[in-house]
Amino acid sequence: MSFGKFGKVSYVSETKLQEFEKALEAGRIMGTKCKTCGKLYFPPRADCTCMKGDIEWVELKGNCRLLTYSTIYFAPASFRYEVPYILAVAQFEEGPTVLAPLNKDLKEDEIEIGMSLRLIPMELAGGRVIYELRKI
């Protein structure tokens, strides 16, 4: 298991964080937490900025609030067939923030800063895994 199937394009496939992709495939959102200072990371990080701690995996519920968003009309080549789409920044109730697309069923006039969203893992054709934000 690795990052080899995460996202619509290929990222570096081997990392110390292979549990992330495995969890997404199982429909779970995992972050990492520093055992020394308690800082929580999403996406997960293998090392903490304090450089002291051991890292442990923690499951996030996926519940978050919308902080901001932007409609994308001109996208990178690998996302060109998706435009227009809305890219959002949301904050998990556990604290970290996530950058992710909003589900296309959500119309722009329904969007409100602070609204409740949930990060949902999705499997694409070919076995790739991504996530998106949906209204709850």
The enclosing H or E element of 24 equals helix 18-25
Task: Rule CB under 5 A: say whether 48 interacts with Zn ion.
Answer: yes
**Residue 12 three-state SS:** coil
Which one of 1-9, 43-51, 63-71, 99-107 is the stretch in contact with Zn ion (CB under 5 A)? 43-51
Q: How far apart are CA 67 and CA 133, in angstroms?
A: 12
Task: Rule CB under 5 A: say whether 55 interacts with Zn ion.
Answer: no
Q: Which is nearer to Zn ion, 50 or 122 (CB)?
A: 50
Task: Rule CB under 5 A: say whether 34 interacts with Zn ion.
Answer: yes
Task: Rule CB under 5 A: say whether 46 interacts with Zn ion.
Answer: no
Cα-based distances in Å from 5 to 29, 30, 50, 81, 131: 16, 16, 30, 19, 12
Q: Which is nearer to Zn ion, 28 or 39 (CB)?
A: 39
Footprint of Zn ion (CB under 5 A): 34, 36-37, 39, 48, 50, 53
